[in-house]
Chain A
């Protein structure tokens, strides 16, 4: 079997354990609160019949573990419960909004990588030079601009003053591809700008190490062009930390999308979370927490597995 695949498989049991722990914590959210969960969920002015119905629905009379297993079973079959506020299935609500968040996240990640990789490579290649010093300073500045602040100023400049791009709202790709792209640009930039600085710094520092190695001198002694050396001999061996950090930053991107979706009024998962919290729609909140937690863990698992495919040495268990 491909060593990278078997390395991935070896890590599955741990993945499953973490997922179980996360789901259990999520489950506990509604169950450890003081007072009657049914009352907490439905709010003060619910009728007695509603509360009774919910109590039965939640099987509140069963022991907690039994309830957890039942809840997990439902979740695994795609049933995250029904919102008592909207009457909509939580799963449906999430699925309806997922494409927006997914597109936003992917576009912003892609944008920040497209900017960060060349800048990181260049600033390592010409380390200490004017461009490098400027970028290092700029990256500190960029990191100190929170997403919401950048969003605000992007709206001021590009929506309010110049009127080039919409400041709120979402157009579906299937309805109007151009409109869709226009509606995703500002939110994606606001969401990804911080990541540019993070990715650039990580890549720069790994590239600096790589560029000092004999393999680079060897590649230069072979008469290869700078472009080829940088991409094939420097970038690839230097991308391990970058991949890790991308995995880590996925969490930050999901968290950030909550704010960005709210600011730009995008109908995404993050917005759903905020709305549910505002309305104390705890069933939806619980479902979302589960989905988000699981996604982050799975994405991290995947990025960790990509390691092995990038660096054959790690794949074969050296320096792993």
Chain B
């Protein structure tokens, strides 16, 4: 597990004293909807979380669960005409909603930066790497031409690009996949952001490259005592790297816990399903990976019931009637400090794992052979309990795509 640096003297000084004490990022009830002819598509549904300085928050969910929209909504980057974003985002002591466009722009890239899944599409293919770094520097920092160039070379070196001076003049397509991803990281880190949002930073890479890039992100984060939102569809990626993990489904947070707790004792059936689909080093060869039946769906505004119900092996009639709210697991909330969520474990499920009520629901469905939502259960092998073994090892093996 990544050690979280508590010493913040190395962090870039803030111009705002109150910013230093509070959490770096405080998101409350963030909600992003798209107006469409058939109704409002809810891409992000009332998400709240806080991120402390230097902390890594893993955000996990299948494709389409709203992770990217969440990331974009946080930085107010959702620009579609049919989109509405509501909720409060406080970044480094400033409520983004109260900032002018100009002030908002000053924070993007400078206070918070973002990297994307595929550098081939996220980088500007018609601009040299060096220019893509220096344009941020020019925008945000009082640097001369020569200083910017020197800074760009340092950045490329620090992300492990050999022959940095030459590569300043390279175009993205002239680099290999791994190098491109490193270049994108260098571009994002140019102005020394306090928050890095990494949206599936390794999904486009092969296994070895993935490790290298994740390690690079780790190193940079530690060196700069930066906070990070690490977004992935693959629990294996955040294992050992995230301090806390938020599991998203259909735009909602369905489970939120310290990483080790989440891996050891998941409460939400969806988290459990995701965990079972991650291969582990301890696996005996030939172990079949479980898959979650069905696929995620678009959620429309005003829908009732638990969005996971059609795919859930515990679904009961009341799951179809009411959407379970995010509730703390007993004994994990610390009401005396609202922002200290270090040990908080929340889940949104009426029949969670590890509760008598939940296991009864599962047994009942098994006995009936079907769930309240009509999902047919075929019990092939033994019980589910063995799957929740405590750790996903630090050395993460990846399933072939």
A and B touch in the complex (CB under 8 A): yes
Where the two chains meet, the residues of A that have a C-beta atom closer than 8 Å to any C-beta of B are 127-129, 213-215, 217-225, 228, 232-233, 236-237, 310-313, 316, 318
Which residue of the partner chain B has the closest CB to A128? B81
B123 contacts chain A at the CB level, 8 A cutoff = yes
Q: How far is the CB of B181 from chain A (nearest CB, A)?
A: 13
Pairs A–B under 8 Å by Cβ, sample size 25: A213-B121, A214-B116, A214-B117, A215-B122, A217-B114, A218-B114, A218-B115, A218-B124, A218-B184, A221-B197, A222-B187, A222-B188, A223-B106, A223-B108, A224-B135, A228-B135, A232-B135, A233-B124, A236-B126, A236-B127, A237-B124, A311-B126, A313-B125, A313-B126, A316-B174
List residues of chain A with CB within 8 A of the CB of B75.
221
Alpha-carbon gap, A217 to B71, bound state (A): 11
B276 contacts chain A at the CB level, 8 A cutoff = no
Q: How far is the CB of B126 from chain A (nearest CB, A)?
A: 5
Which residue of the partner chain A has the closest CB to B184? A218
List residues of chain A with CB within 8 A of the CB of B112.
221
Given contacts A217-B77, A312-B126, are A222 and B113 in contact (CB under 8 A)?
A: yes
Question: Are the C-beta atoms of B171 and A224 separated by less than 8 Å?
Answer: no
Overall SS of chain B's interface: mixed
Q: Total interface residues on B, using CB and 8 Å? A: 38
Alpha-carbon gap, A220 to B190, bound state (A): 14
- Give residues 56-90 of B contacting A (CB, 8 Å): 72, 75, 77, 79, 81
Question: Are the C-beta atoms of A316 and B173 separated by less than 8 Å?
Answer: yes
* New A-B pairs, 19, CB < 8 Å, besides A224-B105, A228-B135: A128-B81, A214-B121, A214-B122, A217-B116, A218-B115, A218-B116, A218-B187, A221-B75, A221-B108, A221-B109, A221-B113, A222-B113, A222-B135, A223-B136, A223-B139, A233-B127, A236-B127, A237-B126, A316-B173
- Which of B81, B173, B184, B188 contacts A312, CB < 8 Å? B173
Q: 10 closest pairs, A vs B, by CB?
A: A223-B109, A223-B108, A221-B114, A214-B122, A222-B109, A312-B171, A218-B122, A222-B136, A223-B105, A214-B121
Where the two chains meet, the residues of B that have a C-beta atom closer than 8 Å to any C-beta of A are 72, 75, 77, 79, 81, 105-110, 112-118, 121-127, 135-136, 139-140, 171, 173-174, 184, 187-188, 190-191, 197
Q: How far is the CB of A217 from chain B (nearest CB, A)?
A: 6
- Which of A221, A223, A313 contacts B140, CB < 8 Å? A223
Question: Are the C-beta atoms of A237 and B125 separated by less than 8 Å?
Answer: yes
Alpha-carbon gap, A228 to B134, bound state (A): 13
